[in-house]
Chains A and B, each alone.
Chain A
Amino acid sequence: MAADEQRLRVAVLGAGLIGIDLADKIRRSAKLELALVAGRDRDSLGLRRAADMGHPTTDGGIHAVVEGGPFDAVFDATNADSHPEHWAALCPTGTTLIDLTPTGLGTVIVPGVNSHRMAAHRHLNLVSCGGQATIPVLHAIAQRCTPTYIEVVSTGASASAGRATRLNLDQYIATTSAAIRTFTATPDAKVMVNLSPARPAPPFRVAMTVLAEAIRTAPVRTSIATAAQAVRAYTPGYKVTSLAVTPGRISVAVEVTASGSRLPRHAGSVDIINAAAVLLAEQSAATSR
């Protein structure tokens, strides 16, 4: 009982690819207790899988989460269009809302970069999978030079992107590029997204190009390696696959393979944002208790 009392009671809203993996990751966490997985369609594959995994489920969506609460934290794994309504409904309950949709409404948090800001806020936004994969590295680069332009191209396997992701590509681009500009103090950032039909499905890959003056190669390389190592602490399948520093230009590519969960290896995009979300919830447990 004592151990359970230490755990934060959390709910997952959304039973798509992201919501179901979140449920799985929360189940493995020693600090979180999954009290509810809320979807909207009783017959959906996601809700049935969550029930098969032994989690309490509901098809009552946001209303069921409000009624079943209060929860210490709620993960919103639905879509950018529904998220504002979810925050409006949950704000009065006093819960911490961790938003995995690309609305960019809450306080944007990237583990290892600004997680210390989390304690002061109850509405957290995780940017996007591309944001989680790039901002640690780009932020590290921006400590070593002054970027004038950053470009990010992410390529995910077709099977790793669910319906909400596909409907939200514009928001994904807007939120990710805004977060990159903010975290790196760069005036101009462009984000592009590919979904690849290749089979077997390729790993999640993000290529970054930074234009900057007066780049000193050795410190940049060291900073990138340190940042990547920090991400690997919660996303073991994260690695820098290429790095080139030329006058005025840094090109870095990272790849993320999912590991240590039920996810297929190619679903690194889901793995990194969910691992970040669960880590933040665990850290909030540590600070609130």
Chain B
Amino acid sequence: MDTHPRKRPRILLHDPTLRDGHHAVGHQLDADQLRAYATAANAAKVPVVEVGHGNGLGASSLQIGRAALDDATMLTTVREALTSSRLGVFVAPGWGTSHDLVAAVHNGADIVRIAAHCTEADVTERHLDVARDLGAEAQGVLLMSHMTGPGELAEQCALMATFGAQAVGIMDSAGHYLPADVTERVHAVADAVDVPVIFHGHNNLGLAVANSLAAVDAGASVIDATARGFGAGAGNTQLEVLVAVLERHGIETGIGLREVLAAADIAADRLMKAPPSIDSTAVASGLAGVFSGFRRPVQQIARAEGVDPVDLFLALGERQAVAGQEDLIGDVARQLKAATR
């Protein structure tokens, strides 16, 4: 392992409030909401504003939830609001296709995140190619990254870099990590690649900001964070808190604290009924290592079937359900119900 002190790069904050936050509201944000937050984030000089269905391009479905707006409307609405921030999109091959990707870049996406489950980086090869050919900045991210170890994450990230990813990294989709887990994984990835390393945290165990700080110290230079932490499960790393924490840590983000606080207040007023909280199901989800985005469907199905949502999350964890497998929730709930009769 590299033991030399790393030269501390400027950290780029990537803001998926209008994408990950969709999980918290059943993918129902309207154009006025998107415009209001994008305008505020742009004014705060947030470098990248990501928008889309919670699971990205092409993911609006009965399985994951139908969005109020189609991909094109979301993108063109946010595009019009951004003058300095770049526009990001997220697509997981298998949920979205190259067709969706081409349309997104046509509609103004500057940065394209291609996502795969943590051991599946080779599904990103085709789509990273497409994104590069379109002239977008192409990044590769691994979902549900707690399901494998630092060595394999490093190999998978290195693979995405060889496919042409201009930044690579890991998502703590279940909010499962402790800071030491993040340190070890980000170190391994940073040692394996020459491109910027991305970290995306969730707050199920109350550690999203601490984990993001650990990622920065371990060599990550692109950190995802959302206003008020608006996002799946217990929410994401809270953007305005992270800006303040990084300022205290002596790290430049280029984002003004006043302006980002104003943007976060607009998010709180316009996007959500209540800010994300770490309720009992969120803790269970983080501990069990189940995708944070399952929170709403788990709560709905648990209520309908008369089972405890905490039990349901733990049972889904035993099945190692991954993001995209929402169809398992009902089956597992009915099995739990049958077992308790």
Give the interface of A toward B (CB within 8 A): 151, 153, 155, 158, 163, 166-167, 169-170, 173-174, 190, 192-199, 202, 205, 207, 209, 211, 241-242, 244, 251, 253
Q: List 22 A-B contacts (CB under 8 A).
A: A151-B61, A153-B325, A153-B326, A153-B327, A166-B122, A167-B122, A167-B126, A169-B97, A169-B123, A169-B126, A170-B93, A170-B99, A173-B97, A192-B324, A195-B116, A195-B117, A197-B118, A197-B119, A198-B319, A199-B320, A202-B320, A251-B330
Per the bound structure, the CA–CA distance linking A211 and B66 in Å amounts to: 14
- Determine the chain B residues whose CB is within 8 A of the CB of A197 once the complex forms: 117-120, 144, 147-148, 320, 322
B184 within 8 A of A: no
**Contact indicator A170/B120 (Cβ below 8 Å):** no
State in angstroms the CA–CA spacing of A169 and B93 once bound together: 7
CB distance from B103 to the nearest CB of A (A): 13
| Nearest chain A residue, comparing its CB with the CB of B130 | A170
Flag if A170 contacts B126 (CB, 8 Å).
yes
| Residue of B61, B97, B118, B327 with highest tally of chain A CB at under 10 A | B327
The answer, among B95, B122, B320, for a CB contact under 8 Å with A196, is B320
B-to-A contact residues, CB < 8 Å: 59, 61-63, 93-95, 97-99, 116-120, 122-123, 125-126, 144, 147-148, 319-322, 324-328, 330-331, 334
Docked CA distance A137–B49 (Å): 43
From A155, A158, A190, A244, contact of B119 by CB (8 A): A158
Query: B62 to A209, Cβ gap below 8 A?
Result: yes
- Contact status of A192 and B94, CB under 8 A, knowing A151-B62, A153-B324, A198-B320: yes
Are A195 and B120 in contact, with the CB atoms below 8 A?
Answer: yes
A192 touches B61 (CB 8 A): yes
Residue of B120, B320, B321, B331 near A166 (CB, 8 A) is B120
Q: Are A207 and B63 in contact (CB under 8 A)?
A: yes
Is B331's CB under 8 angstroms from A195's CB? Answer: no
B59, B116, B125, B325: the one within 8 Å of A155 (CB) = B325
Contact between chains at B331 and A242 (CB < 8 Å): yes
The answer to whether B125 touches A194, judged by C-beta atoms less than 8 angstroms apart, is no
The 6 A-B residue pairs with the shortest CB-CB distance in the complex, in nearest-first order: A207-B327, A198-B320, A193-B94, A197-B119, A194-B324, A170-B97
**How far apart are the CA atoms of A173 and B148 in the complex, in Å?**
27
When distances are taken between beta carbons in the complex, the residues of chain A under 8 Å from B119 are 158, 197
Identify which of A151, A192, A205, A241 contacts B95 (C-beta below 8 A): A192
Whether A153 touches B63, Cβ cut-off 8 Å, given contacts A170-B99, A194-B117, A253-B331, is yes
Residues of A within 8 A of B59 (CB): 192
Question: How far, in angstroms, from A241 to B331 measured CA to CA in the complex?
Answer: 8
Residues on A with C-beta less than 8 A from B122 are: 163, 166-167
CA of A202 to CA of B117 in the docked complex: distance in angstroms? Answer: 15
Structural contact, A169 and B330, CB atoms closer than 8 A: no
For B319, the chain A residues whose CB sits under 8 A away are 198, 202
Q: How far is the CA of A9 from the CA of B116 in the complex (A)?
A: 41
Shortest distance between the CB of B66 and any CB in chain A (Å): 10
Q: How far is the CA of A104 from the CA of B125 in the complex (A)?
A: 22
Give complex CA distance A155, B59 in Å. 15
CB-based nearest A residue for B321: A198
Are B126 and A158 in touch, CB under 8 angstroms?
Answer: no
Are A194 and B123 in contact, CB atoms less than 8 angstroms apart?
A: no
When chains A and B are docked, how far (Å) is the Cα of A79 from the Cα of B331?
34
B155 to chain A: closest CB distance in Å?
13
Closest to B324 in A: A194
Docked-complex contact B93 and A190, CB < 8 angstroms: no
Interface-centre pick from B94, B326, B331 (highest chain A CB count, 10 A): B94
Give chain B residues whose Cβ lies under 8 Å from the Cβ of A202.
319-320
With contacts A151-B63, A207-B63, A242-B334 taken as known, whether A196 is within 8 angstroms of B325 at the C-beta atoms is yes
